[in-house]
Structure formats: C-alpha cells, structure tokens
Structure 1
C-alpha cells in the first residue's frame, strides 16, 4: 500500500532510529511504554481511509437508530451504573486490513467500543514518527496539536477546574497503558487516581491531591467495570453502582452498550455477518466463524477455531457471538522481505452537543500472528505491535 512511502521508510529504517523513536516516547511520557512499539508506521491509501470512514458513518447512523431499550439489554444487571447518558463521549471502531473475494484491499469491522483508548499517546506517537522520519509529515493527520488538545480538554475537563477532574483506573502504575495516563496528565493538567484511593462521603467523592482532600466532580473513566470482580481482595470505599455526584466521561454503561453486542445488529459491506451464539442458524458452517465473548477485552477469550464440543459446553450462550472470519492480508513489507498484517482503530470523541462524533486520531496494531495481539507473536518478529496509520495518495 502506497509503495513509495513503504520503500522510502524501509530504506531509511535502522535499529538506531527505532531506539530513537522509543527514547523520544519515553522522554515525552516520563515512563517507558510497556507494550511493544512497532518499528514501522502503517501506510494506507486515502481510498482505504474513505472506505473505513464510510463504514463508520453507516454504523454510527445505525446505532443512533436503535431503540434505547435495545441498548439497555446489553448491560449486565450487576454492572448497571446510575445516571446513564443519551450518548457516549468516546467511540472507537476497529477495522482489519483485509482482502475481498475480488482481490481488493478493504476494511472489515472487527470490534467497536464506547471506551477511551490511547488518545493522548497516539497523537504523541504520530508526532514522534514524523520527528524521526520527517518525510512522513507530508501525509500526517491534518489536525493541529492545539486543536486536538482543545477537543480533549473540552470533552474531559469542560469548564471545571482541572484539580476536580481525575483519570480513574485500578492500579494505574501496573497497567500497560500507563504512558497514556502520564501523557494525559501533561496534556490536560489532571491527576491519575487509583480506584482504591477514592474517598466517599455521602454522594461526594474525594481524592488526596498534594496532601489535600479534593472533591472529584468529573471522572475520565479508564476502569473496565466488569473486570473488578476478577481482582482478589479488592477493597474500595466507592462502588460504581452507587449514586454519586460526579460527571462520568464516559458513563460506564456505554462500555456494554457499544460492544460486540451490536455486531449481529449491524449491516454494511464492510461488516462481517455475526450472530448471537444461541441464535446461530443451522445452515451456517461453524468453521467459517470466530467465537467471541461479548465483553472480553484485548482479545481475551476469543477462539479462532471453535468446535461443536466447545459450543455445546457453553451454558450462557447469550453472552457470546459468532462472527464470520475475515482474512487479514499481509501487505506491510518489512526490511527482511516478510509481511505483517494490521488493524486500524479510529478514535472518535462525541461531544454532548453534537449529533455525530468527531474523528480525532487513529491507532494501528501490526502482527505476523493469527491474532492482532503482540502476545501471539514470535519474540524476534519485527513490524509488530502498536503503530499509527498514515494515509496518502497511491
């Protein structure tokens, strides 16, 4: 894809430049990325980008047209949080870079979420690629850094004093995304707070800010609520299901409402057919589908080759989907003449006053394995891990 940029990048690439890329990211974030950074950006055509955006716009329209009751059914009863909102503040959508039956490179929907991804990190990552390889700047995201910052500040901080706004996570220092938390703090002048450190008096939440107990009025939420049950001996003063006087950015219920739960309800040329497991038609072939838990995160629980025995053993079939397999196409050539596959996540924000979300940035993931997850790659592989996509004329 875009051979001239791929050729120039591969010619300019060196391990010294790769170390420089990672060193700059560490310097800017103040911490080292704990996930793998790909050596290479992803170069794709404007035509491919237009196909992704067309599919996204169609999906957004379809979601907006769904009855509120349909979305409410996605929320597990034991994970329902009071004070729901009419729309989420974030919308992210993942597309695989695939090949059609006609041999054309096209996007195929993989997942979608109303949950914040690495917004602050990805903008810095894009900028850093351009610093180390200046020629890429001619096809960079046209949104200026200041505009990007203002969008996120308006969404997350709003008119509030930043000291009353927190990024909420559980044991943030242990999370792979810690560098994004650090960059968010620098970008928005807010603090990252562990859920175990939140204090509660009545309906008011507090955190300790430079030795002073400070009221929390807005929460930039990075906690996966349903994962809290999997943390042994977790002790907190605040339960998500309690009614409290805070503004959620975004409300935790949307993690469930915009999720794999929607995949069987969506239709588009670039949306693979999906079924709830308990509604899987007899005429379909199981070997043509991937089994996915509804609310897994980072690829956990996904089975690429489900068997009837595996299906029969699942008791809560309503909490799983079968999604038609797509063929990720290995088109991103590395310096050794080997090829990687990729997935692109579009990162939108959705302001409360807007009818539709705004696309801010993208996140790329590269792999040479069957799944787009670094844990599944060989340790000595290159052109794998977190990346950023640049779109230009072919």
Structure 2
C-alpha cells in the first residue's frame, strides 16, 4: 500500500540503518528493547485510516451506550477493586489488516482493552524512524510532540507533583515493556515502582526513595491484576482489593470491562462475529472460529484451531469466547520480495471530563507467522516485530 513510500523506504534501507534505529532507541531510553524491533514501518492509505477511525468511533459509541451493570458483570468478584471510575483513562483497540471478499483492504477488530500500552515508546519510535529516514516526516502523526506529552501528563500526573505519582508494575525490570517504563519516567518525571516495594500505613501508600518515604497520590497502573495470583509466594504490603487513598490511572476494574468480554456485544462490518463459548450456536462451524480466553494477555491461551473435544473439556465456558477467523493479508513487501502481515493498535487517552477518548498514537505489529504477536515470529525473518504506522495519500 502506498507504493511510493514503500519503494523509497526499501531503496534507502540498510542493515546499518536498522542497527542505528535500535541503537538510538537504546540511547534514548537507557535500555535495550526486550522485544523485536521491526526493520520497517507500515505504510497505509488515508482511505484505510478513515475506515479505521470510523470503525473505532462506532465501537466507542456502542461501549458508551452499554449499561453500567453490563460492564460490571465482566469484573470477577475476586478481582473487584474499590472506588471505580465512570470511564477508563486509556482505550486501545487492535485491528487486523485484512482483505474483504470484494478484494478491498480493510480493518477487522481483533481486541480492545482499557489498559495502557506503549504510549511513550511508540512516540519515541515514530520520531526515531523519522530521524533515520527523514522523508517519513512528511507523513508522520500530525500531533506535535509537546501536545502529545501534555495530554499524557494531564492524564497520568494530573495536578500532582510527579514525585507523588508512580508507574506501578510487578518486577518491572523483568518485563518486556521495561523500555516504555524508562521512557515514561523521562517524559513525565515519575518513578517506576515494583508492587512488592509499596509501603502501606492505614489507607496511605508510600514508596522509598533516597531513604525517605514518599506519599503516593496517583498510580499509573501497569500491573495485570489477574496475573498476581499466579506468582507463587508473592509478598506485598498492599492488596489491590483494599480501599486506599490513591487515584488509579486507570482503575484496575476497567481491564476486565473493556476487553474480549465486549466482542460478542459489538456490531459493525469490521467486527467479526463473536460468541461466548457457552452461547455458541450449534449450527455454526467451529472451524471458522478462534478460541480465546477472556482475560489472557499477549496472545496467551489462544487456540487457532479449536475442536469440539477441546471446547467440551473447558469447565468455565463463560470465560472464553469464539471469534470468527479473519485472514490477515500479507501486503508489506520486504527487501527480498517477501511479504509480512500486520495489525495496528490505536492508542487513545480518555480525560476525566471528556465525552470521548482522544487518539494519540498508533502501534504496529508485523509478522510472517500464524499469529500476529512478537513472540510467535521466526528468529531469522525480517520485517517482523514491533513497528509504527504512517498514513499517506492514496
């Protein structure tokens, strides 16, 4: 798509420039990326972008219209956190880049979530692509850098002193997204704190810095709550289920409320038909569907070829969905004449007094494997891994 930019990029590409791209990201963050960086950005047309944004807006309309009690049903009782909010502070939505029956390239919804993605990293990644390949600046995200930072700061830091705002994660140095934590710290002046290091006195939370206990007023939460119970012998002073005097950014309940749980409830031409497993109609062909656990993360537990034997053996069928398969179209040509498939994640923020979320940035993922996830790529392939999308005139 957009042959002009694909041709120019492929002509200018070299292994030296790829190494320069990775070195620049490491220099800016102080951390080696723990996931594969794709050699290439994605080039998509303004026509495709319009389809993408229109679909997202209609999905947002439908979510906004859902009753509070419908969303609340998504939150497992043992994961419910006090002091919920009216809406999430983040909204991300994943679309596969597919080909329709009439031959048009179109987006198809894959997942959506109210969980912060790689906001700081993706903006840095986009800027770095433009530094290495200056011609990309003419089609970069039109939002100025300072406006992006201002939006992110308003949502995460708010009116608090950055010293009293933390990015919360469990063993952050072990996470694949650690590069985003480091860039967020630089961008916003906040500290990344491990859950095991949080101190609690009454309803107040603290973290230690240079021998002093610093009060925590806002938590930029990066902990996947339902994963905590899977960590053996995890010792913490603070339990998510306790009522504490902090502002959650975003509140942990929204991780469940805006998730795969919503897929069977959404209707749109770019939303594949989905069912809760216990409601799957007997006249549908299971071979046309992908089996997904509701609250897994990063592709974990997804079965691309479920059978009746597999689905019948699942006890908690209400915690799984079957989503109609979509066929990613390999349209992103590499320097060897081979093609990659891809998906795009739209990164929104949702300010507290706004009626709707604001689109800040995007994230691309490229693959030559069956699943579009950086963990499922072959090690010797190129044009795979984490990327960024540039939209240009058709």
What's the TM-score, normalizing by structure 1? 1.00
Residue in 2 that maps onto 1:308? 308
Given that residues 112 and 260 in structure 2 are in contact (C-alpha distance below 8 angstroms), is that contact kept between their aligned partners in structure 1?
yes
| Equivalent residue runs for 1:237-276 within 5 Å | 237-276=237-276
SS at match of 1:95: strand
SS of residue matched to 2:254 = helix
| Separation in structure 1 between the aligned mates of residue 55 and residue 265 of structure 2, nearest angstrom | 14
Q: Deviations over 1:335-387 (max 9, x none)?
A: 00000000000000000110000000000000000101122221100000000
- Answering whether residue 42 of structure 2 is matched by residue 42 of structure 1, we say yes
- Residue by residue over 1:262-307, the C-alpha shift from the partner in whole angstroms, topping out at 9 and shown as x without a partner, is 0000000100000000000011100000000000000000000000
1:68 aligns with 68
Equivalent residue number for residue 231 of structure 1 = 231
Q: CA RMSD in A?
A: 0.5
SS at match of 2:365: strand
CA distance in 1 between partners of 2:159 and 2:318 (Å): 42
- Provide the secondary structure at the position in 2 that maps to 1:103: coil
Supply the distance in 2 between the matched residues of 1:76 and 1:216 (Cα, whole angstroms). Answer: 26
Counterpart of 2:23? 23
Provide, for residues 43-73 of structure 1, a one-character-per-residue CA deviation record: whole Å limited to 9, x for no partner.
0001111111101000000000000000000
Displacement of 1:211: 1.8
Distance 2:112 2:374 in 1: 20
**TM-score in terms of structure 2 length:** 1.00
Match of 2:2 in 1: 2
* Match in the other structure for 1:114: 114
Once the two structures are superposed, residues 92-146 of structure 1 have per-residue CA deviations (whole angstroms, 9 ceiling, x without a partner) of: 0000000001110000000000000000000000000000000011000001110
1:221-276 superposed Cα distances (whole Å, 9 cap, x missing partner): 00000000111110000000000000000000000000000000000010000000
- Secondary structure, counterpart of 2:378 in structure 1: coil
Partner of 1:133: 133
Gaps in structure 1 of 5+ consecutive residues: none
Tell me what 2:357 maps to: 357
Q: Could you say what secondary structure the match of 2:347 adopts? A: strand
Mapped partners of 2:217, 2:378: distance in 1: 45
Q: Distance in 2 between matches of 1:164 and 1:377?
A: 40
Whether 1:77 aligns to 2:97 is no
Residue 277 of structure 1 is matched in structure 2 by 277
Inter-partner Cα distance in structure 2 for 1:377 and 1:149: 32
Tell me, yes or no, if structure 1 residue 295 matches structure 2 residue 295: yes
Q: Which residue of 2 aligns with 1:381?
A: 381
Count of aligned pairs: 394
**Partner SS, residue 282 of structure 1:** coil
Measured in 2, the distance between the counterparts of 1:230 and 1:58 equals 36
Q: Contact 2:273–2:323 (CA<8 Å) still a contact in 1?
A: yes
Measure the CA separation in 2 of the matches of 1:377 and 1:347: 23
Give the Cα–Cα distance (whole angstroms) in 2 for the partners of residues 252 and 134 of structure 1.
40
What secondary structure sits across from 1:299 in the alignment? Answer: coil
State the distance in 1 between where 2:270 and 2:83 align: 34
Superposition misfits of 4+ residues, deviation over 4 angstroms: none
**SS of the counterpart of 1:391?**
strand
- CA deviations 1:192-239 (Å, max 9, x no partner) are 000000000000000002221010000000000000011111000000
**Residues 377 and 385, structure 2, Cα contact 8 Å, conserved in 1:** no
Measure, in 2, the Cα distance between the counterparts of 1:392 and 1:179: 28
Measured in 1, the distance between the counterparts of 2:152 and 2:377 equals 33
Q: Deviations over 1:143-170 (max 9, x none)?
A: 1110000000111101101110000000
Structure 2: gaps (5+ residues)? none
- Separation in structure 2 between the aligned mates of residue 178 and residue 257 of structure 1, nearest angstrom: 25
Could you tell me how far 1:4 is from its partner in structure 2? 0.5
State the Cα distance separating 1:327 from its structure 2 match: 0.4
**What is the aligned partner in structure 2 of residue 192 from structure 1?**
192
Corresponding residue of 1:89: 89
Structure 1 stretch 375-384 or stretch 271-280: which is displaced more?
375-384
Q: 2: CA distance between counterparts of 1:337 and 1:229? A: 46
